[in-house]
């Protein structure tokens, strides 16, 4: 009998009924719904097959590449016929794919052939349209503008961001640093800036869960079957089969909750209170690992005193979870320790959703220390991390020293934010204030993905120069002064990447198909030519092959990596540390339960409860607008992939979820058209009513509400949740605060 059933009662109304799925029947079921939930094996596309009618005898070329459909960058084999894509398959050696790609990885492989591709450089004209221009003109004009901005405002007024992919990250960062600017950003502020900043401060860096040996794991706002990575989805299924006790804390019964023993339907935004309540139980019932704490931490006495007030009864009031249940969750987790931990999560509740997300992640990292699970089999561990070879002068000219008074924009305001990510969302504030004059966005869609769309458009309008390097006319590309067309990922070769863990690999994206549009250029060429035009060409006097050679130099099997695109490195070197060997990744190797470092970010030396910025007033019919991934889509970038959008249409996946009892109170039925209103916007969308959602929120799949008229496949489907999210970055870390949004709903049509 599934423990999940016990979780289906909400403390404040909304009751779930009729669900009698056992874990085993789910595992069978999940295989049937594999397209949506997890992974598929090789798929070939009929439209490609049609295009290849004459190519049945053509020679098949197989190249190793990496999927670009999401940040996992799974290893992938590209099969081509006559230089055109035939099919893709998961790379066996890659730790994330292990021979299998997820469904969207397959569908996304067609992106190069979609009709929204940018085929030549574009310049925005006075009517707001675009004129095609030559590469030479684009470089010349961008270069002149950059030089003018450098002369007038200095390098600190220029920023660059990218969704960290191997070449994108390497070239974008080198380009901006060569200009003398420290303003390099990833998409972290709209993804995992809050949690990764906290983990850096508490642990010295993110640990990984040893799911293969775990006896108990709690997931807070993380779904391996929605926010998919093939290897994680498979390991979770195996862990469930093995009898690992799985707890999922999510206001929504997400796609992996079927695999759980326990679903804790928490009031959104209150996870910090749950963790504090569970920590209180471990401390007061002496269920913590005293030896681990004595050997590897300090400040425990202060922590103990600080945590005393956060009783399960207190936490119950805030989270809506019964006090007894909170006690039992803590006791259950302790009973399996140290092969027991809370998974570090990724985005949702802890990554960038709330003003208290960073504090939630801090409490989570400390909780796992109470269980003594760090460095332990079945707990949390740090894998091996292969080091790429250095890029040395003279081939790779040493970059100019960045003026030491010039700090990454936002780092003074948000000193807790991880510098390697920074807050790309806050760049919009920089543009509004006139501090930032130029932005280069590579493989990023800041206008749609890093904050409220209209606020971002307003802010980016203030820039003197906005350059988007993209493959399709994204919401950012249509606002840019210049759009530079990249080749798509299967069409290009990239610099190496490392994947750490127990069995690390080094991989290298090789070119899998011929370039589709002749006037597009690969990322390495674009940056080298741009650099030349901006007067910093001397830092880019090398080819992508030179980078590959230098970075692979330390690996004895470098030739294998170069030709096959992937190889294992550091084989057989991983082992769990003994208690004497174990050290946290912090500077002094220990974890500090209490730490002054937090004070500079406006948080206490000790952990304490802080609420989210806003809470819905249910008496006034308010809901929190929350969201999450769907297995077949990626952020804002799959909206023009017909194969994937068709699945959305076939299954009505763009609908917004509303709790069924709440819906009934409001006279709303499944499938009705509803209006979602907030002080910022009014949007209409069809709804899916379900008992699988906490009554205080509505849940929106985050991939819809396209605003670029060029991304036709997805036009008119669903809503963009940030239309209702005020643009105000978190005061502690500069993260987006994507779910600090309150809305009301009403039926507007059947
Ligand atoms: N399909 C798909 N998979 C992806 C990606 C993708 O774009 N698409 N991208 C990759 C990337 S970059 C990321 S960041 C990860 C994201 O992976 P996840 O972090 O797992 O993704 P989400 O779906 O955003 O959130 C997970 C769950 O959090 C729940 N949630 C929302 N608010 C709260 C809350 O206040 N408390 C709690 N406890 N739960 C809450 C949501 O209902 C959702 O089910 O996925 C990776 N994999
Ligand atoms: N609305 C919305 N916002 C989100 C999310 C969401 O799901 N919905 N997810 C959040 C999360 S978890 C994350 S990690 C971030 C991700 O935010 P981003 O890093 O901005 O990722 P995407 O939104 O996928 O946009 C990627 C952009 O890169 C372009 N692109 C794709 N392939 C290539 C290529 O090969 N070369 C170049 N030059 N460009 C390419 C796409 O066309 C698209 O415009 O967004 C966050 N914000
Ligand atoms: S998880 Fe799926 S979409 Fe993401 S890189 Fe892997 S195969 Fe591609
Ligand atoms: Mo993300």
**146 has pLDDT over 50:** yes
Q: Which ligand is nearest to the CA of 75?
A: 3
| Distance between Cα 448 and ligand 4 center (Å) | 14
Burial per residue of 37-46, b for 16 or more beta-carbon CB atoms within 10 angstroms, e otherwise: bbbbeebebe
Residue appearing with tokens 């600190």: 156
The two three-digit tokens of residue 62, written as one number: 């197989």
Ligand 3 atom closest to Cα of 100? 7
Q: Indicate whether residue 220 lines ligand 1 (CB < 6 A).
A: yes
Average pLDDT over every residue of 150-157: 98
User: Where is pLDDT greater, at 8 or 408?
Assistant: 408
Please give the distance, rounded to the nearest whole angstrom, from the Cα atom of residue 71 to the centre of ligand 1. Answer: 13
Decide if pLDDT at 33 tops 60.
no
Rg (CA), the chain: 25
Based on DSSP, count helices (H) and strands (E) in the chain, helices before strands: 22, 30
Q: What is the pLDDT of residue 348?
A: 84
Question: Band of the pLDDT at 132, cuts 50, 70, 90?
Answer: very high
| pLDDT (average), residues 227-242 | 94
Closest protein CA for atom 39 of ligand 1 = 221
pLDDT at 352 over 60: yes
Q: Which ligand is nearest to the CA of 490?
A: 2
- Atom 12 (ligand 2): residue with closest C-alpha? 191
Tell me how far apart the alpha carbons of residues 648 and 714 are, in angstroms, rounded to a whole number: 9
Residue 608: φ, ψ to 5°: -150, 160
Cβ of 352 closer than 6 Å to ligand 1, yes or no, is no
Ligand 1 in reach of 634 Cβ (< 6 A): yes
Predicted local confidence at residue 54, as pLDDT: 53
Closest CA to 696 of 639, 739, 726, 636: 739
Position in ligand 2 atom list of the atom nearest CA 163 = 19
Q: Which atom of ligand 2 is the closest one to the Cα of 721? A: 1
**Looking at ligand 1, which atom is closest to the CA of residue 270?**
35
pLDDT tens digits along 167-195: 999 999 999 999 999 999 999 999 999 99
Compute the distance from residue 150 Cα to the ligand 4 centre, in Å: 32
Q: What's the pLDDT at 58?
A: 81
Q: To test the ligand 2 pocket, which listed residue (72, 164, 221, 449) has its Cβ within 8 A of the most ligand atoms?
A: 449
Q: What is the DSSP letter of 510?
A: P
pLDDT tens digit sequence for 321-338 = 999 999 999 999 999 999
- Are 210 and 377 within 8 A, CB to CB? yes
Q: Provide CB contacts within 8 A for 614, sequence distance 6+.
A: 624, 740, 741, 742
User: What integer pLDDT is reported at residue 501 of this predicted model?
Assistant: 96
Q: For the sheet containing 566-568, what is the strand order?
A: 496-499, 505-508, 566-568
Task: Give the Å distance between the CA of 482 and the centre of ligand 2.
Answer: 18
Beta bridge partners of 247: 218, 262
Query: Is the pTM value of this prediction over 0.85?
Result: yes
Q: Separation of 346 CA from ligand 4 center, angstroms?
A: 7
Mean pLDDT of 63-89: 95
Mean pLDDT of 541-568: 96
Chain position carrying tokens 């599934």? 2
Three-state SS at 230: helix
Strand partners, 507: 497, 566
Residue count of the chain: 750
Confidence at residue 116, expressed as pLDDT on a 0 to 100 scale: 87
Query: Ligand 3 — pocket residues by CB below 6 A?
Result: 67, 69-70, 72-74, 96, 101-102, 104-105, 228-230
- Average pLDDT score over residue span 603-610: 98
Average pLDDT over residues 430-457: 98
- SS3 for 395-426 is CCCCCCCCCCCCCCCCCCCCCCCCCCCCCCCC
Percent of the chain residues topping a pLDDT of 70: 93
Q: How confident is the model at residue 208 (pLDDT cuts 50, 70, 90)?
A: very high
Report the separation in Å between the CA atom of 444 and the middle of ligand 2, taken as the mean of its atom positions.
5
Taking the C-alpha atoms of residue 162 and residue 506, their distance in angstroms, rounded to an integer, is: 21
* pLDDT given for residue 55 in this prediction: 59
Atom of ligand 2 nearest to the CA of 637: 24
Distance of alpha carbon 325 from alpha carbon 9, whole angstroms: 12
Strands, sheet with 262-264, edge to edge from the N-terminal-most edge strand: 262-264, 245-249, 216-220, 340-342
d(CA 15, CA 661): 7
Q: Residue 311: name the closest of 343, 340, 273, 362 by CA.
A: 273
Query: H or E stretch including 440?
Result: strand 438-442
Q: Ligand 4 centroid vs 191 CA: distance in angstroms? A: 4
What gap in Å lies between CA 564 and CA 473, rounded to an integer?
Answer: 33
Check whether 38 has a pLDDT greater than 70: no
User: Does the pLDDT of residue 29 top 60, yes or no?
Assistant: no
Rounded CA-CA distance 542/611 in Å is 51
Higher pLDDT, 45 or 508: 508
Stretch 90-119: mean pLDDT: 94
Which ligand is nearest the CA of 350, by number?
A: 1
Q: Is 449 touching ligand 1 by the criterion CB < 6 Å? A: no
Give me ligand 1 centre to Cα 230, in Å.
Answer: 15
**Residue 320 burial by Cβ neighbours in a 10 Å radius (0-12, 13-18, 19+):** buried
Would the pLDDT of 25 be above 70? Answer: no
CA-based nearest residue to 569, from 190, 94, 87, 4: 94
Give me the pLDDT at residue 676, please: 98
**Phi, psi dihedrals of residue 24, rounded to the nearest 5°:** -65, -45
Is residue 98's pLDDT more than 50?
yes
Q: How confident is the model at residue 44 (pLDDT cuts 50, 70, 90)?
A: very low
Ligand 2 pocket, residues with Cβ under 6 angstroms: 68, 71, 163, 187, 190-191, 347, 442-445, 448-449, 469-472, 474, 486, 488-489, 634-637, 702-703, 720, 722
In whole angstroms, what is the distance from residue 639 CA to residue 649 CA?
Answer: 12
Mean pLDDT of the chain: 92
Q: Using the CB atoms, write b or e for 151-162: b if 16+ within 10 Å.
A: eebebbbbbbbb
């Amino acid at each position: 009998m599934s423990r999940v059933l016990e979780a289906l009662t909400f403390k404040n109304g909304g009751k779930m009924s009729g669900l009698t799925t056992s874990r085993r029947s789910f595992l069978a079921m999940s295989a049937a719904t594999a397209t949506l939930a997890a992974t598929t094996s090789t798929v070939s596309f009929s439209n490609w097959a049609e295009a290849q009618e004459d190519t049945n005898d053509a020679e098949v070329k197989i190249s190793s590449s990496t999927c670009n459909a999401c940040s996992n960058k799974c290893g992938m084999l590209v099969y081509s016929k006559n230089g055109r894509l035939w099919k893709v398959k998961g790379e066996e050696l890659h730790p994330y794919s292990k021979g299998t790609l997820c469904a969207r990885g397959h569908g996304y492989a067609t992106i190069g052939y979609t009709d929204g591709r940018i085929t030549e450089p574009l310049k925005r004209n006075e009517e707001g349209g675009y004129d095609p221009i030559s590469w030479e003109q684009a470089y010349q004009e961008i270069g002149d503008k950059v030089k003018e901005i450098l002369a007038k405002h200095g390098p600190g007024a220029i920023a660059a961001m990218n969704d960290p992919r191997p070449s994108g990250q390497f070239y974008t960062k080198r380009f901006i640093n060569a200009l003398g600017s420290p303003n390099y950003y990833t998409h972290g502020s709209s993804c995992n800036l809050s949690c990764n900043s906290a983990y850096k401060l508490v642990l010295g860096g993110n640990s990984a869960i040893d799911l293969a040996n775990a006896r108990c794991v709690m997931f807070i706002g993380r779904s391996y079957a929605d926010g998919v990575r093939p290897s994680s989805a498979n390991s979770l299924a195996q862990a469930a089969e093995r009898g690992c006790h799985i707890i999922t804390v999510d206001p929504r019964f997400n796609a992996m909750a079927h695999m759980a023993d326990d679903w804790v339907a928490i009031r959104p935004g209150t996870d910090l209170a749950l963790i504090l309540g569970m920590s209180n139980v471990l401390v007061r019932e002496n269920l913590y690992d005293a030896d681990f704490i004595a050997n590897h931490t300090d400040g425990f006495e202060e922590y103990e005193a600080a945590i005393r007030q956060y009783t399960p009864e207190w936490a119950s009031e805030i989270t809506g979870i019964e006090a007894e249940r909170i006690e039992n969750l803590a006791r259950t987790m302790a009973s399996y320790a140290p092969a027991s931990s809370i998974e570090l999560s990724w985005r949702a509740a802890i990554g960038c959703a709330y003003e208290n997300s960073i504090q939630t992640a801090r409490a989570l990292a400390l909780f796992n220390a109470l269980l003594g699970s760090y460095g332990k089999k079945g707990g949390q561990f740090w894998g091996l991390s292969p080091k790429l070879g250095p890029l040395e002068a003279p081939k790779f000219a040493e970059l100019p020293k960045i003026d030491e008074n010039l700090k990454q924009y936002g780092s003074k305001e948000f000193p807790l934010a991880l510098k390697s990510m920074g807050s790309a969302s806050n760049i919009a504030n920089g543009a509004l204030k006139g501090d930032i004059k130029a932005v280069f966005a590579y493989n990023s869609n800041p206008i749609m993905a890093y904050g409220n769309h209209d606020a971002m458009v307003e802010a980016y309008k203030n820039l003197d120069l906005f350059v988007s390097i993209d493959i399709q006319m994204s919401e950012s590309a249509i606002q840019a002064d210049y759009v530079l067309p990249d080749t798509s990922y299967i069409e290009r070769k990239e610099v190496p990447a490392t994947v750490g863990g127990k069995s690390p690999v080094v991989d290298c994206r090789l070119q899998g198909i011929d370039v589709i549009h002749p006037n597009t250029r690969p990322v390495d060429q674009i940056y080298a030519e741009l650099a030349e035009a901006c007067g910093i060409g001397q830092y880019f006097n090398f080819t992508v092959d030179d980078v590959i050679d230098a970075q692979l130099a330390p690996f004895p099997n470098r030739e294998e990596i170069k030709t096959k695109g992937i190889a294992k490195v550091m084989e057989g070197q991983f082992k769990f540390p003994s208690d004497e060997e174990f050290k946290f990744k912090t500077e002094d190797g220990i974890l500090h339960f209490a730490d002054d470092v937090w004070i500079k970010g406006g948080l206490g030396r000790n952990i304490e409860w802080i609420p989210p910025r806003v809470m819905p007033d249910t008496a006034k019919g308010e809901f929190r607008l929350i969201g999450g991934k769907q297995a077949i889509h990626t952020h804002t970038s799959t909206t023009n992939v017909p194969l994937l959008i068709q699945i959305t249409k076939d299954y009505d996946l763009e609908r917004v979820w509303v709790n069924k009892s709440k819906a009934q109170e409001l006279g709303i039925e499944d499938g009705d058209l509803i209006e979602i209103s907030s002080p910022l916007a009014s949007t209409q969308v069809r709804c899916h009513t379900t008992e699988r959602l906490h009554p205080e929120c509505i849940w929106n799949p985050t991939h819809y509400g396209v605003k670029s008229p060029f991304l036709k496949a997805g036009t008119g489907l669903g809503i963009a949740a940030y239309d209702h999210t005020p643009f105000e970055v978190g005061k502690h870390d500069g993260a987006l605060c994507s779910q600090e949004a309150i809305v009301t709903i009403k039926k507007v049509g059947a």
